[in-house]
A and B are shown apart, each in its own frame.
Chain A
Amino acid sequence: MNKPLSPALPNSLKPNSFKSGPDERGHFGTFGGRYVAETLMPLILEVEKAYEACKADPSFQAELDRYLADYVGRPSPLWFAERLTKALGGAQVWFKRDELNHTGAHKINNCMGQILLARRMGKTRIIAETGAGQHGVATATVCALFGLPCTIYMGATDVARQSPNVFRMKLLGAEVKPVTSGAATLKDAMNEALRDWVANVTDTYYLIGTVAGPHPYPAMVRDFQSVIGIEAKQQMLRATGRLPDIAVAAIGGGSNAMGLFYPFLDDTGVRLVGVEAAGHGLDSGQHAASLSKGRPGVLHGNRTYLLQDEFGQILEAHSISAGLDYPGVGPEHSWLHELGRVEYVAVTDGEALEAFQLCTRTEGIIPALEPAHALAHVAKIATTLPDDAIILMNLCGRGDKDIFTVAEALGVKL
């Protein structure tokens, strides 16, 4: 049976339920909120109102369920990674296979939900930010499906290192705008999308790709991604008759992790572990580990842990995985971190590369570099656990997009 592995929490901090956030102003404890320019405030209040109406409308959920089943391909399977388990020699490793979704990652779960919301709001133009291009591809995909024009903001640096996804977005009919301001990566793409939204307030819907941004986005994106954890819980009970001992997921902005964790938050016997990108190492100054190495601040509409200098200027993140390369993290993670309900650890570029290859050779699954970070941590802890322990890992994306990066890192010329 499950032994309670998570550390005891001080009673004063303990909420009645770890699923109680956010409050009506969008706060998770001291995190979250709505830190946006006045021009945008009425818009995000409108999104919140519309989302609340959808949540209360059974026909919305029915519509979403149909698209998730027949278009996205849900439920995604739960897979016992037997050869990997043997190779590691310890706890059983199970994959929640969200890499099998249409477009190859978990991102489309959220895009499907938000595009249906945008349609109900009568919006006729979609904008989004993207880092690795996975959210951009998923957004361009649902826009093609519904015939809506979309503009994707992508840092010029990322446009160069993720060219296959740029081409995919263009094939899908999206306009891809390279962002050269700031450091020309994901955070700047998000700034630029917010600037677009400020200038196009009547017709445009901003489809944010992770559990960040102003309220209601962190809660809404979490809700749309929670399908991952809801399915995994049922599948695990069916397959093994019990809950996992540990659930592990990679953290960029934190949406695949919130999606997996949320349904388990009140199952305190299940240890939850979020894996940040340690890049060249936590002490190298070149990483994306905002919870491990950052401190609370305000960026992109919410209050959360950020990589910043002593004067509150935002620092550039680094990770071999473009999808983890963000100096912030969703506010709910900051809250869960301070409550101690979720543990946050970090894995280097090199460790992720090794896990990438291990997964490929033992399971015949090429993972994205993002979940390869989660797997690297799984590999570290599996060997320390008995063979009846169960680790559930979110295999949230496939690695086709990453083969060029991996080849380069391995010194292979394609």
Chain B
Amino acid sequence: MTSNRLPAGGPNRIATRFAAVAAEGRGALITFVEAYDPDRATSEALLAGMPAAGADLIEIGVPFTDPMADGPTIQRAAQRGLKAGATLPATLDMVRGFRSLDAATPIVLMGYYNPVLSYGPERFAADAADAGVDGLIIVDLPPEEADELTVHTGPAGLELIRLVAPTTDDKRLPVVLAGSGGFVYYVSITGITGTRSASEAQLADAIPRIRRATTLPVAVGFGVRTPEQAAAAVRLADAAVVASALIDTLSGDLDEAGRAKPGTVEKVLDQVRALAAGVRGARRNNQAAE
């Protein structure tokens, strides 16, 4: 099998992409697709179509039976994915397929720790890097418990992207940021995914605080749903992450049997195009960190 791993020590796809986007003087759009939701072919078509629709980076949700940080939208997406046969190895296989079409768009897996632990951290790091994964967001793996994974992800060239929450105070911030890579994911609300949104004032408070503590790009996620909200996010931060709003469009278009209709994928990609236009039209107030 060919390896999609980039040479060790060289720039990672995530850093390369953020630099390119910054050079265009804009923020990045990060879109989300749940693996196998509602079936493998549909999620692969979404994944394949997202870069041309304007996604700069893509997160792939790895379905888990007990997604404790997710709201009903992503919970149900995970259940549909599991029902369709999603597993961690099958998700890696999807990434491998995507890499044969697109060698540049960064792929970040987002999920929970148990499937990774079950796969084996060492084997997982190697196989994920070979498949062409660039970064990982493991929601329930705080820095305090991450050592057993980072000893393997580091050498494999995978970035462990850390979540920073509104509850992360200035004393804790350096603990979270130490050893984090790729970008910093700011969970902009105290809450689960797909429920409420942060106000611009709240973001204006939070983002500079994180910037002072890191040189990594900062992405805003949880509650970014509309092109306007995405534009507001990238006026302050380097990227906007949109997940539940895309899944709502997908799930709202499924037929009675839970299958995608002929136009479903295009409908979601239209929304990606609108979000991308929002992000690209936003003037930057703040210069992104280099």
Name A's B-contacting residues (CB within 8 A): 25, 33-43, 181-182, 187-188, 191, 194-195, 198-201, 296-301, 306, 308, 310-314
Q: How far is the CB of A123 from chain B (nearest CB, A)?
A: 15
Verify B190–A39 contact, CB threshold 8 A: yes
Can you report 21 residue pairs joining A to B where beta carbons are below 8 Å apart? A34-B145, A36-B142, A38-B162, A38-B165, A38-B167, A39-B165, A41-B168, A187-B66, A188-B66, A199-B191, A200-B190, A297-B114, A297-B118, A298-B117, A300-B66, A301-B140, A311-B87, A311-B119, A312-B117, A313-B64, A313-B114
Collect the chain B residues with CB atoms within 8 Å of residue A187's CB: 66
Verify A39–B68 contact, CB threshold 8 A: no
Complex Cα gap A40–B139 (Å):
11
Complex Cα gap A379–B12 (Å):
63
Collect the chain A residues with CB atoms within 8 Å of residue B25's CB: none
Complex Cα gap A38–B140 (Å):
8
Q: How far is the CB of B198 from chain A (nearest CB, A)?
A: 13
Q: What does DSSP make chain A's interface, helix, strand, loop or mixed?
A: mixed
B290 sits at the interface (CB 8 A): no
Complex Cα gap A297–B121 (Å):
12
The listed residue (A39, A200, A312) touching B88 by CB distance below 8 A is: A312
Verify B115–A37 contact, CB threshold 8 A: no
Collect the chain B residues with CB atoms within 8 Å of residue A188's CB: 66
Collect the chain B residues with CB atoms within 8 Å of residue A38's CB: 142, 162-165, 167-168, 176, 187
Verify A41–B142 contact, CB threshold 8 A: yes
Collect the chain B residues with CB atoms within 8 Å of residue A36's CB: 68, 140, 142
Name B's A-contacting residues (CB within 8 A): 64-72, 75, 79, 82, 87-89, 112-119, 139-142, 144-145, 162-169, 172, 176, 187, 190-192, 195
Collect the chain A residues with CB atoms within 8 Å of residue B79's CB: 182
Collect the chain B residues with CB atoms within 8 Å of residue A39's CB: 69, 163, 165-167, 187, 190-191
Output the nearest chain B residue to A202 by Cβ-Cβ distance.
Answer: B190
Verify B140–A35 contact, CB threshold 8 A: yes
Nearest 3 Cβ contacts at the A-B interface: A312-B118, A312-B115, A39-B165
Given A191-B66, A191-B68, does the pair A299, B114 have CB atoms closer than 8 Å?
A: yes
Given A181-B72, A191-B66, A198-B192, does the pair A34, B118 have CB atoms closer than 8 Å?
A: no
Verify B113–A35 contact, CB threshold 8 A: yes
Collect the chain A residues with CB atoms within 8 Å of residue B167's CB: 38-43, 201
Verify A298–B65 contact, CB threshold 8 A: no
Verify B195–A199 contact, CB threshold 8 A: yes
Complex Cα gap A36–B146 (Å):
12
Complex Cα gap A15–B191 (Å):
40
Collect the chain A residues with CB atoms within 8 Å of residue B141's CB: 35
Interface centre among B64, B67, B119, B145 (most CB of A within 10 A): B145
Complex Cα gap A34–B165 (Å):
16
Q: How far is the CB of A190 from chain B (nearest CB, A)?
A: 8
Complex Cα gap A25–B64 (Å):
26
The listed residue (B66, B69, B162, B168) touching A182 by CB distance below 8 A is: B66
Verify A195–B192 contact, CB threshold 8 A: yes
Verify B118–A310 contact, CB threshold 8 A: yes
Output the nearest chain B residue to A45 by Cβ-Cβ distance.
Answer: B172
Verify B144–A201 contact, CB threshold 8 A: no
The listed residue (A34, A299, A306) touching B142 by CB distance below 8 A is: A34
Interface centre among B116, B164, B191 (most CB of A within 10 A): B191
Verify B195–A37 contact, CB threshold 8 A: no
Complex Cα gap A188–B79 (Å):
13
Complex Cα gap A195–B66 (Å):
11
Collect the chain B residues with CB atoms within 8 Å of residue A312's CB: 64, 88, 114-119
The listed residue (A195, A298, A300) touching B69 by CB distance below 8 A is: A195
Collect the chain B residues with CB atoms within 8 Å of residue A199's CB: 190-192, 195
Collect the chain B residues with CB atoms within 8 Å of residue A313's CB: 64-65, 82, 87, 114-115
Complex Cα gap A187–B68 (Å):
10
Complex Cα gap A301–B112 (Å):
11
The listed residue (A33, A41, A194, A198) touching B190 by CB distance below 8 A is: A198
Verify A195–B114 contact, CB threshold 8 A: no
Verify B165–A35 contact, CB threshold 8 A: no
Given A41-B172, A313-B82, does the pair A35, B142 have CB atoms closer than 8 Å?
A: yes
Additional A-B contacts beyond A38-B187, A42-B165 (5; CB < 8 A) = A37-B140, A38-B168, A39-B187, A198-B191, A298-B112
Collect the chain B residues with CB atoms within 8 Å of residue A195's CB: 68-71, 192
